[in-house]
Amino acid sequence: MKKIISALTVLALIALSMPVLADPAVDAKAAILMDFGTGTVLWELNPDEPLPPASVTKVMTMLLTMEAIDRGEIGYDTVVTASERAKSMGGSTIFLDAGEQMTVDDLLKGIAVASGNDACVAVAEHLAGSVEAFVERMNQRAAELGMNNTHFVNCNGLDAEGHYSSARDIAIMSRELMRHPDIFRYTTIWMDSLRGGAFQLANTNKLIRFYDGATGLKTGSTDGALCCVSATARRDDLHLIAVVLGSPDSKSRFASARELLDYGFANYRNVRLGEKDKTVTSAPVKKGLKDQVTLVSADDAFALISADRVNAVKTETRLEPDISAPIKKGDSLGEVVTTLDGEVIASCRLIAAENIGRRTVFSYFKSLMEEFMSV
């Protein structure tokens, strides 16, 4: 099969017409708009300038927490004991007391909704033994993700010398966090409570209530960083990430994020090629113990196009011309491809959902005998 660019690593957008909506009006030092499905940058302003990120830092803290949950190191019901250091945190807190115990579930709620600096410290110390060790993990993960203009000094985003990130890097780590859909159980909360209702929570991200399709993700503000946000929203199959750094005030921050998101939803659409592990079709198998093999999508895959070219897009399934046993689960046996004006712009591999052994003389006669006995 000829090599075709994957929809997960694409995309040069082909033959784009004039945008439906003009460039967004952004009042900030830096900003970026990224498509979650493909990672394509749709608009940018000083995207690689290192700037203090304030509490948007907590996106990385939440990411490491979700990854620890996925690895089975902790669970949502794991109980964490707060330290004196956690208690001593200033700024936004959930007022943890030294020795107070709280589940990871509640601490994530405290981080995502109330931006609790103390909750971040409690989680960091539980996962890594100390804040310093946790920050090392944050920087290591940032390097792995290709966040080239980021250096963390703490886990919560309080102003500190040498603590910085960029709009592009924040979009990258936000996208990685969004790969853990459970996080939206926290980032979409508007109001809730902790301690059996004794402590009320209200989301610092006002877009959650006032922007159609908002899914998160994290706000931040300090004297050094001014007002920042990593704002995410989804409509149909288009899930966008709008990062705004260094807005002069909270109103400007949210207005800028709204401008970016509106621009993305007006100008672009995602065409879904495949949903990971979902059955797409079946294909005939030669010389196999089964006559058909089930084919599933290898990945969640999309093709990103301009809104005014949607009707010009065609999607088709292409199978290998000669599929013969033996087949191993996961073997690539075809693809779903998207074309625009006759040119392939994206693809998604189709893989075998099962093992299929090769038919032997013995198996052939065995099947004949089984048919004979059933008559």
Structural domain ending residue among the three candidates 212, 247, 282: 247
Q: Is residue 372 part of a domain?
A: no
Which among 267, 260, 273 has a CA at the least distance from the CA of 300?
273
CATH of the domain at 217: 3.40.710.10
Residue 148 lies in a domain: yes
Residues 199 and 318 grouped into a single domain:
no
**168 found inside a domain:** yes
Q: Please indicate, yes or no, whether residues 156 and 238 belong to a single structural domain of this protein.
A: yes
The answer to whether residue 115 is catalytic is yes
| Residues 220 and 352 occupy one common structural domain | no
pLDDT the model gives residue 361: 62
Instruction: Look at residue 25 and tell me if it is in a domain.
Output: no
Which of 6, 29, 55, 165 is an active site residue? 55
Q: What is the pLDDT of residues 254-271, one digit of tens each?
A: 999 999 999 999 999 988
212 inside domain:
yes
Which residues, 6 or more positions from 145, have their beta carbon under 8 angstroms from its beta carbon? 169, 172, 173, 176
The enclosing domain of 280 has a CATH number of 2.60.410.10
41 and 130, same structural domain?
Answer: yes
Strand order across the beta sheet in which 30-35 lies: 41-45, 30-35, 238-247, 226-235, 214-222
What is residue 3's predicted lDDT score, i.e. its pLDDT? 35
Let me know if residue 4 belongs to a domain.
no
For this structure, is 55 an active site residue? yes
Confidence (pLDDT) at 123: 98
332 assigned to active site: no
What is the model's pLDDT at position 369?
60
pLDDT of residue 303: 87
Domain of 318? 272-361
Q: Is 375 within the bounds of a domain?
A: no
Under a CB-based contact definition with an 8 Å cutoff, are residues 113 and 185 in contact? no
Let me know whether 286 and 212 are in one domain. Answer: no
Cβ–Cβ < 8 Å for 174, 63: no
Catalytic option among 6, 29, 58, 109: 58
Q: Taking 50 as the threshold, does the pLDDT of residue 281 lie above it?
A: yes
Please pick, among 6, 83, 92, 115, the residue that the annotation labels catalytic: 115
Domain end: 230, 247, 264, which one? 247
Per the structure, the count of domains in the chain is: 2
According to DSSP, the residues that pair with 79 across neighbouring strands are: 103
Residue 12 included in any domain:
no
